[in-house]
Structure formats: C-alpha cells, structure tokens
Amino acid sequence: MRIVYKGGAASQFPLTIGSTLECEDKLLSKSKAMLLHPTDDPFLYYLAIEGRPEEIERVELRRDPKDPGIVSIRGITCETDAKAENLLELPDLSPGAEEAAWIESHALSPSGPHLER
C-alpha cells in the first residue's frame, strides 16, 4: 500500500499476512507481529496508519506480481480537520481509552515499525 501526497512524497506500507493482512473468512491470528485490530464482526479487522501531515493525493494498492492472491479492502477512512463539499461528515465514534492506546502502539507510520526487516 502506498500513500502519495500532493507534493510528490510517498509512504509505503507492506501488506503481509500475519501482520498487516489476514486471510478472508479467518479469525484474527494471535501472532505478536499482528497489527490488525478486531471489530464487532469476527472476520473484519482494521489497520491504523498514521500518515504524514500533508494532503493526500491518492492511495495505491499494488499486488506483488509473484503472489497470485487477491487482497480485499472494504474501506479506507481518513481522519482530517479539513472541510470540503465532497467530504462526508462521519458520526463521532471516538475510541475508548483501551482502543485508543492500542491504536497509538500499533499504528504504522513512515517512521515505523519497519516490517520489511
């Protein structure tokens, strides 16, 4: 997954089964490397990514040509203070303290964790 910013900078995040990706219709792995968080649906999870403080131009999803699998992403939500006619106002669903702490400690960002290592 690659986030490309308006000025041309980009941040790249690998989607890897057992860390940032899970197989469809499978319960979430208990691996210590897992960065996905469960939801109310036992087969849907979310991944928190902290981007750069720049305007996002696009999000690119590219499959590894050596891997014939298909990645299914059900939605992408961006948190912003920006106002525009084409931005939908979402209900305030602020996470509780425990979930907020999990997001803080497990979010991918340009500064880490570096999963390629």
- What is the pLDDT at residue 115? 57
Among the ranges 6-20, 21-35, 70-84, which has the highest mean pLDDT value? 6-20
**Which residue has 């860390």 as its token pair?**
19
Dihedral sign from CA coordinates of 63, 117, 43, 106: negative
- What is the pLDDT at residue 10? 93
Q: What is the mean pLDDT of residues 7-36?
A: 82
Task: Please state the separation of Cα 114 from the chain's center in Å.
Answer: 14
pLDDT digits (tens, 9 = 90+) for 63-114: 777 876 677 788 888 777 777 888 777 777 788 899 888 888 888 887 766 5
CA distances (Å), origin 95, targets 29, 91, 102, 116: 22, 12, 10, 29
Residue 5 confidence class, pLDDT cut points 50, 70, 90: very high
